[in-house]
Amino acid sequence: MLAKKNLVQQQLKNMPNEILKTIRTRRSVNQNSFTNEPISKEDLLSVLEAANAAPTHKRTQPWRFVVFQNDGLNRLGNELSRIYKAITPSEKYNAITEENMGKKATMSTVAIAIIVNYSGDVPEWEELAATACSVQNIWLAAHAIGLGGYWASPGLINHLGPFLSLEDNQKCIGIFYMGHHNSEVRDPVRSPIEEKVRWEG
């Protein structure tokens, strides 16, 4: 019992450094670096549980997700291609772009539609922010267990409502594409924090 308690205390002691390391090393990883290795149900649930731990005003928990795997990725890809063709003016239409819209889904192991469920109990921006926090948790959790991904927000998502069976108070704000990957570790491209902070007092 004492050994287990000491182990937990040691894990808690090490946790801040691990969290900071994960935050600082997380990067966007796109489909070109994805492998064919499947994502286990256990890992996927871990990522979604992390999303569910995001902060939320009045506990409205506005994040909702639709997870696409296997044949679901084909259906999503077909729908994105269909929407692109349907809404793009003929003078701007490009067949390669239509094909690529579908490929983004089918080249991923998992695609997660990100949805805000507006409750009306708090300002909409707060529930949008809370949902964005849940997506950051997805990103960090995925990175921590060796998965890569990125949040895509093409204009096509504004037309996904019927496909996703969204309710009137719900809005899709993006798709998180995810998979195992073979990309190299990259340094962050960020200007110094000193340029973004003003100290008072």
Give the model's confidence band at 189: pLDDT under 50 very low, under 70 low, under 90 confident, else very high: confident
Mean pLDDT of 68-76: 97
**83-142 pLDDT tens trace:** 999 999 999 999 999 999 999 999 999 999 999 999 999 999 999 999 999 999 999 999
Look at residues 131, 99, 115 and name the one whose alpha carbon lies nearest to residue 163: 115
Give the model's confidence band at 199: pLDDT under 50 very low, under 70 low, under 90 confident, else very high: very high
Q: Where are the domains of the chain?
A: 32-68+111-182
Say what the pLDDT of residue 80 is.
96
Share of the chain above pLDDT 70, in %: 92
Say what the pLDDT of residue 176 is.
98
- Give the pair of three-digit tokens for residue 194: 């000193």
Superfamily holding 32-68+111-182: NADH Oxidase (3.40.109.10)
Quickly list H helices, 107-195: 124-144, 161-164
Q: Does residue 5 carry a pLDDT above 80?
A: no
Neighbours of 174 (CB within 10 A): 18
Quickly list H helices, 52-123: 71-87, 95-106
Average predicted confidence (pLDDT) for the chain: 93
0.85 exceeded by pTM:
yes
